[in-house]
Amino acid sequence: EVQLVESGGGLVQPGRSLRLSCEGSGFILKDNAMHWVRQAPGKGLEWVSGISWNSDRIQYADSVQGRFTISRDDAKNSLYLQMNSLRVEDTALYYCVSDIIGYSFGSGFDRWGQGSLVTVSS
């Protein structure tokens, strides 16, 4: 079964850091643009960040610019999100997703993980 599996979430105090990981299972991340999308409890979807298949294009939502860093390691078939200076409002379920057209950044997210919950609270 083709899956994206997130890990690394948890409870963290405001101002601290956390690193999310996403590994492909039966799915090769190489040659695919990848993104992180989050959903706060009971709220809608928010795109967080994306990285093109060859890492030459990286974008962030204004809400996380300067605090979060997206990266990928195709040798490990993995995607990462380094989250620094976390705020209460960053509390959400974080999904790892891939573009339906691998080489086309932002073509639509057809593969979703089950999410990793990040809770920022003192």
- Judged by the rule CB under 8 A, the positions of this chain that interact with another protein are 35, 37, 44-47, 50, 59, 61-62, 95, 100, 106-110, 112-115
Which residue lies nearer to another protein by CB, 16 or 57?
Answer: 57
Q: How far is the CB of 49 from another protein (least distance, A)?
A: 9
Q: How far is the CB of 40 from another protein (least distance, A)?
A: 12
CA gap 24, 73 in Å, rounded: 11
Q: How far is the CB of 82 from another protein (least distance, A)?
A: 19
**CA dihedral sign, ordered 93, 47, 55, 71:** negative
Nearest residue to 84 via CA among 4, 19, 1: 19
**Other residues' Cβ atoms within 10 Å of the Cβ of residue 74:** 16
Which residue lies nearer to another protein by CB, 36 or 80?
Answer: 36
